[in-house]
Amino acid sequence: MEDLGKTVIIITHKLQEVLAISHRVSVMRQGKMVGTLETKEANEGILAEMMVGREVLFEQLDKKETFKEEVLLVEGLRARDNRGLVALNGVSFNLRRGEVLGIAGVEGNGQSELVEVLTGLRKTEEGRILINGVDASNKSPKEIRNLGIAHVPEDRLSTGLSIEATIWENLIMGIQHKEPYAIRGIHMNEKKIKDRANRLIDEFDIRTPSSNLPAGKLSGGNMQKMVIAREFSFNTPILIVAQPTRGVDVGAIEFIHSQIIKKRNDGVAILLVSAELDEIFRLSDRIITFYEGEITGEFLKDQISKQEIGIYMTGKHMKKKGVL
Protein backbone atom coordinates (compact mmCIF):
# COMPACT_ATOMS: atom_id res chain seq x y z
CA MET A 1 0.00 0.00 0.00
CA GLU A 2 2.72 2.33 1.04
CA ASP A 3 4.60 1.74 -2.19
CA LEU A 4 1.49 2.77 -4.07
CA GLY A 5 1.77 6.17 -2.47
CA LYS A 6 -1.18 5.63 -0.09
CA THR A 7 -1.37 6.85 3.48
CA VAL A 8 -1.83 4.15 6.08
CA ILE A 9 -3.03 4.87 9.60
CA ILE A 10 -2.64 2.02 12.06
CA ILE A 11 -4.37 2.11 15.44
CA THR A 12 -3.15 -0.40 17.99
CA HIS A 13 -1.97 -0.86 21.54
CA LYS A 14 0.69 -3.34 20.50
CA LEU A 15 3.91 -1.42 20.70
CA GLN A 16 5.98 -3.71 18.53
CA GLU A 17 3.49 -3.50 15.73
CA VAL A 18 3.87 0.26 15.65
CA LEU A 19 7.62 0.11 15.89
CA ALA A 20 7.83 -2.45 13.13
CA ILE A 21 5.84 -0.80 10.38
CA SER A 22 5.17 2.87 11.04
CA HIS A 23 7.17 5.96 10.14
CA ARG A 24 5.64 8.33 12.62
CA VAL A 25 3.78 7.55 15.80
CA SER A 26 1.26 9.55 17.82
CA VAL A 27 0.11 8.60 21.29
CA MET A 28 -3.36 9.29 22.62
CA ARG A 29 -4.39 9.10 26.24
CA GLN A 30 -7.89 9.70 27.61
CA GLY A 31 -9.09 11.36 24.45
CA LYS A 32 -6.10 13.69 24.16
CA MET A 33 -3.16 13.63 21.83
CA VAL A 34 -0.08 13.25 24.02
CA GLY A 35 2.51 13.66 21.31
CA THR A 36 3.91 12.64 17.97
CA LEU A 37 7.41 11.45 17.14
CA GLU A 38 9.40 9.77 14.42
CA THR A 39 9.36 6.01 14.90
CA LYS A 40 13.15 6.00 14.55
CA GLU A 41 13.39 8.04 17.73
CA ALA A 42 10.88 5.91 19.63
CA ASN A 43 11.28 2.74 21.59
CA GLU A 44 8.93 0.65 23.72
CA GLY A 45 9.86 2.39 26.92
CA ILE A 46 9.21 5.90 25.62
CA LEU A 47 5.88 4.95 24.04
CA ALA A 48 4.72 3.07 27.12
CA GLU A 49 5.55 6.03 29.28
CA MET A 50 3.58 8.34 27.00
CA MET A 51 0.62 5.97 27.00
CA VAL A 52 0.44 5.50 30.73
CA GLY A 53 1.59 8.94 31.77
CA ARG A 54 4.27 7.60 34.04
CA GLU A 55 7.36 5.52 33.71
CA VAL A 56 6.67 1.87 32.98
CA LEU A 57 9.40 -0.54 33.84
CA PHE A 58 9.51 -3.62 31.70
CA GLU A 59 12.11 -4.81 34.09
CA GLN A 60 13.24 -8.33 34.51
CA LEU A 61 10.75 -10.07 36.76
CA ASP A 62 12.26 -11.54 39.87
CA LYS A 63 11.72 -15.27 39.75
CA LYS A 64 12.52 -17.30 42.82
CA GLU A 65 13.45 -20.95 42.84
CA THR A 66 10.80 -22.95 44.67
CA PHE A 67 10.10 -26.51 45.59
CA LYS A 68 8.61 -28.11 42.52
CA GLU A 69 6.01 -30.71 43.37
CA GLU A 70 3.55 -31.99 40.80
CA VAL A 71 -0.04 -30.86 41.43
CA LEU A 72 -1.74 -31.39 38.11
CA LEU A 73 -1.41 -34.31 35.77
CA VAL A 74 -3.18 -34.51 32.44
CA GLU A 75 -3.15 -37.75 30.48
CA GLY A 76 -4.36 -38.44 26.96
CA LEU A 77 -7.07 -35.79 26.94
CA ARG A 78 -9.47 -35.86 24.00
CA ALA A 79 -12.31 -33.41 23.49
CA ARG A 80 -14.41 -31.90 20.73
CA ASP A 81 -15.11 -28.26 20.00
CA ASN A 82 -18.53 -26.66 19.62
CA ARG A 83 -18.82 -27.87 16.05
CA GLY A 84 -18.16 -31.46 17.10
CA LEU A 85 -14.68 -31.56 15.56
CA VAL A 86 -11.76 -32.99 17.49
CA ALA A 87 -10.12 -30.10 19.31
CA LEU A 88 -7.86 -32.00 21.69
CA ASN A 89 -6.20 -35.14 20.46
CA GLY A 90 -4.39 -36.95 23.22
CA VAL A 91 -2.91 -34.13 25.25
CA SER A 92 -0.68 -35.04 28.20
CA PHE A 93 1.41 -32.83 30.46
CA ASN A 94 2.04 -32.10 34.08
CA LEU A 95 2.17 -28.92 36.12
CA ARG A 96 4.28 -28.30 39.20
CA ARG A 97 4.13 -25.92 42.09
CA GLY A 98 6.08 -22.73 41.70
CA GLU A 99 6.28 -22.79 37.94
CA VAL A 100 4.57 -21.04 35.09
CA LEU A 101 3.84 -23.44 32.27
CA GLY A 102 3.18 -21.44 29.12
CA ILE A 103 1.07 -22.82 26.32
CA ALA A 104 2.04 -21.25 23.03
CA GLY A 105 0.03 -21.71 19.91
CA VAL A 106 -1.81 -19.91 17.20
CA GLU A 107 -5.32 -19.33 18.49
CA GLY A 108 -7.88 -21.95 17.59
CA ASN A 109 -5.55 -24.90 17.95
CA GLY A 110 -7.29 -26.33 20.99
CA GLN A 111 -5.93 -24.15 23.78
CA SER A 112 -9.36 -22.72 24.61
CA GLU A 113 -10.89 -26.19 24.71
CA LEU A 114 -8.05 -27.42 26.93
CA VAL A 115 -8.77 -24.69 29.47
CA GLU A 116 -12.50 -25.42 29.34
CA VAL A 117 -11.94 -29.13 29.91
CA LEU A 118 -9.58 -28.46 32.81
CA THR A 119 -12.08 -26.13 34.48
CA GLY A 120 -15.17 -28.27 33.98
CA LEU A 121 -16.80 -26.16 31.29
CA ARG A 122 -16.36 -28.83 28.61
CA LYS A 123 -16.60 -32.62 28.68
CA THR A 124 -13.69 -34.84 27.78
CA GLU A 125 -14.20 -38.03 25.82
CA GLU A 126 -11.00 -39.77 26.84
CA GLY A 127 -8.13 -39.28 29.19
CA ARG A 128 -8.02 -38.06 32.74
CA ILE A 129 -7.13 -35.09 34.85
CA LEU A 130 -5.58 -35.59 38.29
CA ILE A 131 -5.52 -32.70 40.73
CA ASN A 132 -3.24 -33.64 43.59
CA GLY A 133 -3.94 -37.25 42.70
CA VAL A 134 -7.73 -36.85 42.71
CA ASP A 135 -9.53 -37.61 39.47
CA ALA A 136 -11.17 -34.41 38.23
CA SER A 137 -12.20 -35.47 34.73
CA ASN A 138 -15.71 -34.36 33.79
CA LYS A 139 -16.38 -32.86 37.19
CA SER A 140 -18.51 -29.73 37.51
CA PRO A 141 -16.83 -26.31 37.70
CA LYS A 142 -17.82 -26.13 41.35
CA GLU A 143 -16.17 -29.45 42.21
CA ILE A 144 -13.06 -28.47 40.32
CA ARG A 145 -12.87 -25.15 42.14
CA ASN A 146 -13.14 -27.04 45.41
CA LEU A 147 -10.29 -29.29 44.31
CA GLY A 148 -8.10 -26.21 44.05
CA ILE A 149 -8.21 -24.60 40.62
CA ALA A 150 -8.98 -20.96 40.01
CA HIS A 151 -9.38 -19.73 36.47
CA VAL A 152 -8.95 -16.42 34.67
CA PRO A 153 -10.88 -17.05 31.44
CA GLU A 154 -9.73 -15.89 28.03
CA ASP A 155 -12.90 -13.87 27.42
CA ARG A 156 -13.70 -11.78 30.46
CA LEU A 157 -16.92 -10.35 29.03
CA SER A 158 -18.57 -13.63 28.13
CA THR A 159 -17.22 -15.82 30.92
CA GLY A 160 -15.33 -13.87 33.54
CA LEU A 161 -17.86 -11.36 34.78
CA SER A 162 -21.33 -9.91 34.52
CA ILE A 163 -21.37 -6.35 33.21
CA GLU A 164 -24.74 -5.67 34.87
CA ALA A 165 -23.72 -6.94 38.28
CA THR A 166 -21.89 -4.62 40.63
CA ILE A 167 -18.18 -4.95 41.27
CA TRP A 168 -18.77 -6.46 44.70
CA GLU A 169 -21.23 -8.96 43.23
CA ASN A 170 -18.61 -9.92 40.66
CA LEU A 171 -15.89 -10.24 43.27
CA ILE A 172 -17.86 -12.59 45.54
CA MET A 173 -18.68 -15.12 42.81
CA GLY A 174 -17.53 -18.57 43.86
CA ILE A 175 -17.61 -18.00 47.61
CA GLN A 176 -21.11 -16.53 47.94
CA HIS A 177 -22.30 -19.55 49.96
CA LYS A 178 -19.32 -19.62 52.30
CA GLU A 179 -18.93 -18.17 55.78
CA PRO A 180 -18.47 -15.37 56.71
CA TYR A 181 -19.92 -13.94 53.47
CA ALA A 182 -23.11 -15.97 53.81
CA ILE A 183 -24.34 -16.30 57.36
CA ARG A 184 -25.24 -19.98 57.80
CA GLY A 185 -24.87 -20.24 54.05
CA ILE A 186 -28.08 -18.26 53.53
CA HIS A 187 -28.05 -14.58 54.43
CA MET A 188 -25.58 -12.51 52.46
CA ASN A 189 -23.41 -10.49 54.77
CA GLU A 190 -23.14 -7.38 52.64
CA LYS A 191 -20.77 -5.62 54.96
CA LYS A 192 -18.23 -8.44 54.95
CA ILE A 193 -18.61 -8.87 51.22
CA LYS A 194 -18.07 -5.18 50.53
CA ASP A 195 -15.15 -4.95 52.95
CA ARG A 196 -13.51 -7.76 51.06
CA ALA A 197 -14.33 -6.12 47.73
CA ASN A 198 -12.80 -2.84 48.85
CA ARG A 199 -9.70 -4.64 50.04
CA LEU A 200 -9.30 -6.31 46.64
CA ILE A 201 -9.95 -3.02 44.85
CA ASP A 202 -7.03 -1.50 46.77
CA GLU A 203 -4.78 -4.48 46.50
CA PHE A 204 -5.26 -5.00 42.77
CA ASP A 205 -5.45 -1.32 41.89
CA ILE A 206 -8.93 -1.50 40.32
CA ARG A 207 -9.73 2.10 39.40
CA THR A 208 -13.31 2.73 40.48
CA PRO A 209 -15.04 5.23 42.74
CA SER A 210 -17.05 2.47 44.42
CA SER A 211 -17.65 -1.26 44.57
CA ASN A 212 -21.34 -0.53 43.92
CA LEU A 213 -20.67 0.39 40.31
CA PRO A 214 -21.79 -2.10 37.64
CA ALA A 215 -18.71 -3.91 36.35
CA GLY A 216 -19.61 -2.85 32.81
CA LYS A 217 -18.61 0.73 33.68
CA LEU A 218 -15.00 -0.28 34.20
CA SER A 219 -12.38 -0.06 31.49
CA GLY A 220 -11.12 -3.30 29.96
CA GLY A 221 -7.95 -3.25 32.02
CA ASN A 222 -9.80 -2.67 35.25
CA MET A 223 -12.33 -5.38 34.43
CA GLN A 224 -9.44 -7.76 33.88
CA LYS A 225 -7.84 -6.71 37.15
CA MET A 226 -11.17 -7.39 38.85
CA VAL A 227 -11.33 -10.90 37.41
CA ILE A 228 -7.72 -11.53 38.38
CA ALA A 229 -8.29 -10.12 41.86
CA ARG A 230 -11.18 -12.52 42.42
CA GLU A 231 -9.47 -15.62 41.12
CA PHE A 232 -6.10 -14.90 42.75
CA SER A 233 -7.76 -14.14 46.10
CA PHE A 234 -9.02 -17.72 46.43
CA ASN A 235 -5.43 -18.82 47.14
CA THR A 236 -5.78 -22.06 45.23
CA PRO A 237 -2.74 -24.26 44.61
CA ILE A 238 -3.40 -24.12 40.86
CA LEU A 239 -4.16 -21.13 38.65
CA ILE A 240 -5.22 -21.36 35.04
CA VAL A 241 -4.71 -18.03 33.35
CA ALA A 242 -5.83 -17.53 29.75
CA GLN A 243 -4.97 -14.40 27.74
CA PRO A 244 -4.46 -12.40 30.93
CA THR A 245 -3.57 -9.15 29.22
CA ARG A 246 -5.73 -9.17 26.11
CA GLY A 247 -7.01 -5.70 25.31
CA VAL A 248 -5.36 -4.26 28.39
CA ASP A 249 -3.24 -1.11 28.57
CA VAL A 250 0.50 -1.16 29.17
CA GLY A 251 0.32 -0.15 32.82
CA ALA A 252 -2.15 -2.89 33.63
CA ILE A 253 -0.08 -5.46 31.71
CA GLU A 254 2.91 -4.69 33.88
CA PHE A 255 0.80 -5.01 37.01
CA ILE A 256 -0.85 -8.28 35.95
CA HIS A 257 2.51 -9.82 35.03
CA SER A 258 3.98 -8.95 38.39
CA GLN A 259 0.96 -10.46 40.16
CA ILE A 260 1.34 -13.70 38.22
CA ILE A 261 5.02 -13.94 39.13
CA LYS A 262 4.19 -13.16 42.75
CA LYS A 263 1.82 -16.12 42.78
CA ARG A 264 4.47 -18.30 41.16
CA ASN A 265 7.02 -17.30 43.78
CA ASP A 266 4.48 -18.21 46.46
CA GLY A 267 4.52 -21.75 45.16
CA VAL A 268 1.35 -21.71 43.08
CA ALA A 269 1.25 -23.84 39.94
CA ILE A 270 0.29 -21.64 36.99
CA LEU A 271 -0.86 -22.68 33.56
CA LEU A 272 -0.59 -19.72 31.23
CA VAL A 273 -2.29 -19.70 27.84
CA SER A 274 -1.48 -16.72 25.67
CA ALA A 275 -1.41 -15.74 22.06
CA GLU A 276 1.30 -13.21 22.87
CA LEU A 277 4.68 -14.87 22.51
CA ASP A 278 6.33 -12.05 24.43
CA GLU A 279 4.08 -12.78 27.37
CA ILE A 280 4.77 -16.50 27.21
CA PHE A 281 8.52 -15.91 27.15
CA ARG A 282 8.46 -13.28 29.82
CA LEU A 283 6.52 -15.31 32.37
CA SER A 284 7.04 -19.01 31.66
CA ASP A 285 9.50 -21.46 33.13
CA ARG A 286 8.48 -24.15 30.71
CA ILE A 287 6.74 -23.80 27.37
CA ILE A 288 4.50 -26.25 25.52
CA THR A 289 3.59 -25.65 21.89
CA PHE A 290 0.16 -26.51 20.57
CA TYR A 291 -0.81 -27.28 17.02
CA GLU A 292 -4.14 -28.72 15.89
CA GLY A 293 -5.05 -30.12 19.27
CA GLU A 294 -1.74 -31.80 19.90
CA ILE A 295 1.37 -30.90 21.81
CA THR A 296 4.18 -30.42 19.34
CA GLY A 297 6.98 -29.61 21.68
CA GLU A 298 8.04 -28.94 25.23
CA PHE A 299 10.93 -26.68 26.17
CA LEU A 300 12.53 -25.00 29.09
CA LYS A 301 12.31 -21.30 28.50
CA ASP A 302 15.99 -20.85 27.78
CA GLN A 303 16.14 -23.74 25.34
CA ILE A 304 14.25 -22.06 22.55
CA SER A 305 13.92 -18.70 20.84
CA LYS A 306 10.81 -16.90 19.67
CA GLN A 307 11.77 -17.59 16.07
CA GLU A 308 12.24 -21.30 16.59
CA ILE A 309 9.06 -21.75 18.52
CA GLY A 310 7.04 -20.44 15.60
CA ILE A 311 8.01 -23.54 13.68
CA TYR A 312 6.43 -25.74 16.35
CA MET A 313 3.31 -23.60 16.54
CA THR A 314 2.62 -24.01 12.85
CA GLY A 315 3.34 -27.72 12.61
CA LYS A 316 6.29 -27.12 10.27
CA HIS A 317 8.69 -29.00 12.52
CA MET A 318 7.13 -32.24 11.31
CA LYS A 319 7.92 -31.35 7.75
CA LYS A 320 11.45 -30.65 8.80
CA LYS A 321 11.74 -34.02 10.44
CA GLY A 322 10.27 -35.61 7.36
CA VAL A 323 7.12 -36.81 9.09
CA LEU A 324 4.83 -35.12 6.64
Partner 1 sequence: MDKRHSNERIEYIISLVFSIVVSLLIGALIMIANGRSPLVGYGALLKGAFGSKYNIATTFAKTVPLILTGLATAVSFSSGIFNIGGEGQLYLGAFAAAYVGITFISLPKGIGIILAIIAGALVGGIYAYIPALLKVKYEIDEVITTIMLNSVAVLFTSYLVNYPFATTEGKMGGTEIIAEGYHLSKMVRLSTLNTSIFFMGIIAIIIYYLMEKTSAGYDFKMVGRNSLFARYGGIDDKKQMILAMVLSGALCGIAGVFEVLGVHHRFLQNISPGYAWDGMLAALIVKNNPIGVIIMSIFLGALKTGSVSMENATSIPSELVLVIQSIIILFIAGEAGFKEKFKVWNTRRKAKQKAGEKNA
Please tell me whether residue 213 binds partner 1 under the rule CB under 8 A.
yes
- CB under 8 A: which stretch of 91-99, 106-114, 183-191, 263-271 binds partner 1? 183-191
C-alpha distances (whole Å) from 183 to each of 159, 173, 188 are 27, 16, 6
Binds partner 1 by CB under 8 A, chosen from 65, 158, 307, 321: 158
Q: Is 237 in the site for partner 1 (CB under 8 A)?
A: no
- Binding to partner 1 by CB under 8 A, coded x per residue (else -) over 112-141, reads -------x-x------------------xx
- Answer yes or no whether residue 21 interacts with partner 1 by CB under 8 A: no
**Opening angle at CA 146, ends 150 and 211, nearest 5:** 55
Should residue 5 be labelled a site residue for partner 1 when binding is judged by CB under 8 A? no
- Give the residue among 129, 106, 104, 105 at the shortest CA–CA distance from 116: 129
What single DSSP character describes residue 157?
I
Q: What count of Cα atoms within 13 Å lies in the side-chain half-sphere of residue 101?
A: 24
* Choice from 84, 133, 209, 322 touching partner 1 (CB under 8 A): 209
Contact between 79 and partner 1 by CB under 8 A: the answer reads no
Closest CA to 168 of 217, 125, 200, 212: 212
| Cβ atoms within 10 Å of 69's Cβ, excluding its own | 12
> Do 34 and 50 form a contact (C-beta atoms < 8 A)?
yes
> Of the candidates 101, 172, 201, 240, which one interacts with partner 1 according to CB under 8 A?
172
Q: Which residues bind partner 1 (CB under 8 A)?
A: 119, 121, 140-142, 145, 151, 153, 158-166, 169, 172-174, 176-177, 181-182, 185-188, 209-210, 212-214, 217
